[in-house]
Amino acid sequence: MPCLELIEAVSISRAISIRSKQIIDGNQEFIGQGMSNIIGGWFSCYPSSGSFTRSGANYDAGAVSPLAAVYAAIIVALVISFVPSATSYLPLPAMAGSVLLIAWNLIDQKSIMETLKLNHAEAVILIVTFLSTLVIQLEYAIYIGIIFSIGFYLRRTSQPKVIEVAPIQNNQDRIIRNVQRYELEECPQIKMIRIDGSLYFGSVDYVQKEMARLVREDSKHLIIIAKGINFMDISGVHLLEAEILNGKKVGREVRVCSLKGTVLDEIQSMTSFQSVLKYHLSKNSKEAIAGMLMEIDKEQCRHCPARIFNECTNFPVHHRSPKLL
């Protein structure tokens, strides 16, 4: 039950914060509720939790601070202590109607409809959790919703986007963009891909398969743009290390660029980073491209009409002599 009480309290605070546009600290709620239950246990008190009816009524009445709950508790204590028989005159139908009205106002119908229409994964979680509350105990229904939520989250993070990218040729700055979306040409000798998502043990297999699918055998060199990686563990470092070492076996140079500073701080102490990845890392895509152009076949560049990079202007175009009749 403590878990159910905590979830109920956080749900109430989040529902009210949406209406009041306030920032709610859920950790503070956990600390306060935990301390109250620990202290109350020494005095044989009932377990305490947030109440959606009291919180909703306080908000509708214009309460702006937690003192509203303190004043309400004092008033209830005074009534129970001195005039407990007064509660028998309260009309139960009116109280029931008030509870239903307060609960109805806490339901964000607009957000529910947006979830059902726009996000299929969250819609499934919402529907499954709602139906579970109708057929099983409430605490177990919440657990089912949590399990589904974790499952969809792991599914999403385990399949990062691995995208083919290239510079925009008709732009002076040659900004790196999605090849398919902008219909860009690619360099025949240098393959550029971008990883958007965390690179950890649950996603390395998927990323490895996607890279194998995108990187053609005739792609001489590879640049991995890693600015979309928010987290990388030892499995992710091993994946990049394996890609670099396997590339060396077939004569392919591999460069990793644009790693975030927070990611670098996490992986710099790893052995694989110090021995392999460190020497194939570039600060940004411009530096990686400049270094990679030193490794490519210049003669092939003379016959290439694409001219993908700004540096390609340094390579003269080879013009074929006309055939003599």
pLDDT by residue for the chain (325 residues), tens only, comes to: 556 777 777 777 777 777 777 777 878 878 888 888 889 889 888 777 777 677 777 877 888 787 888 888 898 889 888 988 887 888 888 888 887 887 787 777 888 888 888 888 999 999 999 999 899 987 788 889 989 999 999 999 999 999 999 998 777 777 899 999 998 988 888 999 999 999 999 999 999 999 999 887 666 799 999 999 999 999 999 999 999 999 998 889 999 999 999 999 999 988 888 889 999 999 999 999 999 988 888 888 878 887 888 777 776 665 544 444 3
Q: What residues contact 151, with CB distance under 8 A and at least 6 apart?
A: none
Distance CA 128, CA 141 (A): 9
Which pLDDT belongs to residue 205? 95
User: If 0-12 CB within 10 Å is exposed, 13-18 middle and 19+ buried, where does residue 173 land?
Assistant: exposed
- Are the C-beta atoms of residues 186 and 308 closer than 8 Å to each other? yes
Which pLDDT belongs to residue 53? 72
Which pLDDT belongs to residue 32? 82
pTM: 0.76
Closest by alpha carbon to 230, among 270, 268, 258? 258
Which pLDDT belongs to residue 219? 65
Q: Which two tokens mark 300?
A: 């092939």
Which pLDDT belongs to residue 91? 86
Could you give the angle at which helices 138-157 and 120-135 cross, rounded to 10 degrees?
160
Domain over 161-311 is classified CATH 1.10.10.10: no
Sequence ranges of the domains in the chain: 1-82+98-107, 108-157, 161-311
Closest by alpha carbon to 161, among 200, 201, 207? 207
Which pLDDT belongs to residue 322? 45
Which pLDDT belongs to residue 325? 38
Q: Which two tokens mark 55?
A: 């919180």
Which pLDDT belongs to residue 3? 67
- Are the C-beta atoms of residues 166 and 159 closer than 8 Å to each other? no
Distance CA 320, CA 186 (A): 23
Name the 3-class secondary structure at 203: coil
